[in-house]
Amino acid sequence: MSKDLKITKGVNIPLKGKAEQLIGNADRSKVFAIKPTDFTGLFPKLHVKEGAEVKAGDPLIYSKDDNRIQWVSPVSGEVVEIERGEKRKMLSVKVLADKDISYREFPVENPSDLAREAIVKRLLDSGCWPFIRQRPYGVIASPDDTPKSIFISCVNTAPISADQDFVVHGLENEFQTGLNAIKKLTEGSVHLTVTGMSKPSDVFAKIKGVEIHKVSGPHPAGNVGVHIHHIDPVLNNKEKVWYLEPQDVIIIGRLFLEGKYNPTRVVAVTGPMVKNPRYHKLLIGSQITPVIEGQLDSDNNRYISGDVLTGSRIDKDGFLGFYDEEITVLEEGNEPEIFGWIKPGGNKFSISRSLFTWLRPQRQLPLDTSMHGEERAFVVTGEYERVFPFDIYPVQLLKSIMIEDVETMEKLGIFELAEEDMALCEVVCTSKIPVQETLRKGLDLAKQELG
């Protein structure tokens, strides 16, 4: 039973620098890194020592709480560095890649013939399990659970993000095979959401054995959390809904088709600072230097693995994150602005019409990372609700998190949300409240107390 969604609340931020639909041919990076910081709420333990030789698909780290969940090396080579931060927190495990990648071999099998347990085991062994995340809490799923349904959002509405129709182009076989494996994990349905705003890619349209829903509307219409909320909501912490990205379904498909862990993604290298924004085929953990080389004029930039709303800040020679399919470069907005609060508008984005940018709605803005103000107490009301298509009261929820009232958080619907769903609230906030950070605090607290 398909259910079409028309989202009305939200906003498309007119950011400059959308990637052209071309695949670039930058060199493969030499060093790759797996960053435990990409995995919310998990404590990493090392599987290898510095100097060890690994193949692509050999485990590097595993989760302290559940040693079946592990992260594997995207390439073959030598473990050259284990980077640690404050209190010896593990930041990344770096692998120097061989010229020709040798793979750890897995059997080539048709997932439709396998039992659920066999598929779970294969996903865990091969390092593909962490692609599967769950609501509540927006964390990696537990292999002991059975979800009531699984969602795959094939729409990306975040500003200048990777076009899902483009990145899966020509990969029908991998996608269908991956889905056949995923389907075995639930007794409920697998929901595939595709764009209702243009003709969705054939890769999605021809898929079999899933429920297809069309979604349209402004961001966050493409967020999986929005789809779950409207189609099969997570109303308590006992029932889980799992979700994953289309490109990760393809990686899983490849695992079964070729017997290799080959985490290649089509990644959009975007942003107002990039001269020729376009797509590149990159492995998870690739260093970004080769793809941004010669693309930047100035140096005062912010490099982001992921999109501008939820991505994580990385260094100029940083690495592509585990879940990310964009590398975005913005200018750092760290220049003070004389009487900036009086100026008519300039190159600022606002959902409020008190800045005059709204007079030229078609213009693509070269936005920077400036806060445009300072943090204050909540004053203005009703602005979060304009960009938040959930039947949830966002400000009341945040306030309950600030006073650490877990019972109220639960009642107000925190199980349905992850940071990305409230990212726009954070963008439009007049009082510059750190919304995503606060929500994560609440999710961690709720998980700790309620399980």
Partner 1 sequence: MKLLHNVIDKFEPNFEKGGKFEKLWPLFDGFKTFAMVPGHTAHSGAHIRDGIDLKRTMFTVIVALIPALIFGMWNVGYQHYLALGLAGEMSFIDNILFGAIKVLPMVVVSYGVGLAIEFAFCIYKGHQINEGYLVTGMLIPLIMPVDLPLWMLAISVVFAVVIGKEVFGGTGMNILNPALTARVFAFFAYPTYMSGDKVWINTSTREGQSVVDGYSGATALGDLATSGSTQYSAMDMFLGLIPGSVGETSVVMILIGAFILILAGIGSWQIMLSGVIGALAMGGIFNLFAEYALSPEQQAFMAVPAWQQLIMGGFAFGIVFMATDPVSAAQTAKGKIIYGFLVGFFAIMIRVFNPAYPEGIMLAILLLNVFAPLIDHYVVEGNIKRRMKRAAQLQTVNA
Please report, as residue ranges, which positions from 371 to 390 form the binding site for partner 1 (by CB under 8 A). 371-374, 376-383, 385
Interface positions, 138-197, toward partner 1 (CB under 8 A): 148, 159
Interface positions, 47-76, toward partner 1 (CB under 8 A): none
108's enclosing H/E stretch is none
Stretch that binds partner 1, among 40-48, 89-97, 273-281, 391-399 (CB under 8 A): 391-399
Comparison of 76 and 357: residue with beta carbon closer to partner 1? 357
DSSP character for 226? Answer: H
- Best CA proximity match to 326, nearest among 266, 275, 273, 283: 266
Interface positions, 261-280, toward partner 1 (CB under 8 A): none
Interface positions, 3-32, toward partner 1 (CB under 8 A): 13, 15
Cα–Cα dist 18/35, whole Å: 26
Question: Which of residues 150, 192, 427, 443 is near partner 1 by CB under 8 A?
Answer: 427
**Is 145:240 a contact under the CB 8 Å cutoff?**
yes
Interface positions, 276-305, toward partner 1 (CB under 8 A): 302, 304
Comparison of 204 and 349: residue with beta carbon closer to partner 1? 349
- Best CA proximity match to 222, nearest among 152, 324, 131, 141: 152
Comparison of 117 and 391: residue with beta carbon closer to partner 1? 391
Q: What is the dihedral of CA 119, 120, 123, 128, to 10 degrees?
A: 130
Comparison of 258 and 332: residue with beta carbon closer to partner 1? 332
Binding residues for partner 1, total number by CB under 8 A: 78
Minimum distance from residue 318 beta carbon to partner 1 (Å): 14
Stretch that binds partner 1, among 96-104, 111-119, 168-176, 423-431 (CB under 8 A): 423-431
Cα–Cα dist 111/209, whole Å: 13
Minimum distance from residue 115 beta carbon to partner 1 (Å): 23
215's enclosing H/E stretch is strand 211-216
Question: Which of residues 419, 421, 442, 443 is near partner 1 by CB under 8 A?
Answer: 419
Comparison of 67 and 352: residue with beta carbon closer to partner 1? 352
Find the angle CA(390)-CA(396)-CA(397) to the nearest 5 degrees.
65
Comparison of 431 and 448: residue with beta carbon closer to partner 1? 431
Question: Which of residues 130, 147, 311, 389 is near partner 1 by CB under 8 A?
Answer: 311
DSSP character for 419? Answer: G
Minimum distance from residue 395 beta carbon to partner 1 (Å): 7
- Best CA proximity match to 248, nearest among 354, 151, 332: 151
Cα–Cα dist 421/410, whole Å: 17
CA 39 from centroid of its chain's CA atoms:
11
Distances (CA, A) of 443 to 40, 138, 149, 240, 392: 10, 8, 21, 15, 15
Cα–Cα dist 233/12, whole Å: 25
Comparison of 114 and 424: residue with beta carbon closer to partner 1? 424
Stretch that binds partner 1, among 118-126, 206-214, 290-298, 362-370 (CB under 8 A): 362-370
Supply 430's token pair.
Answer: 């007049």
Please name the residue ranges forming H helices in 4-115.
none
**Binding letters toward partner 1, positions 214-253, x by CB under 8 A:** -------------------x-xx--x--------------
Comparison of 121 and 372: residue with beta carbon closer to partner 1? 372
Question: Which of residues 207, 435, 443, 446 is near partner 1 by CB under 8 A?
Answer: 435
Strand partners, 140: 133
Comparison of 42 and 308: residue with beta carbon closer to partner 1? 308
Supply 417's token pair.
Answer: 């949300």
Interface positions, 317-346, toward partner 1 (CB under 8 A): 328, 330, 332-342, 345-346
One-letter amino acid at 107 equals P
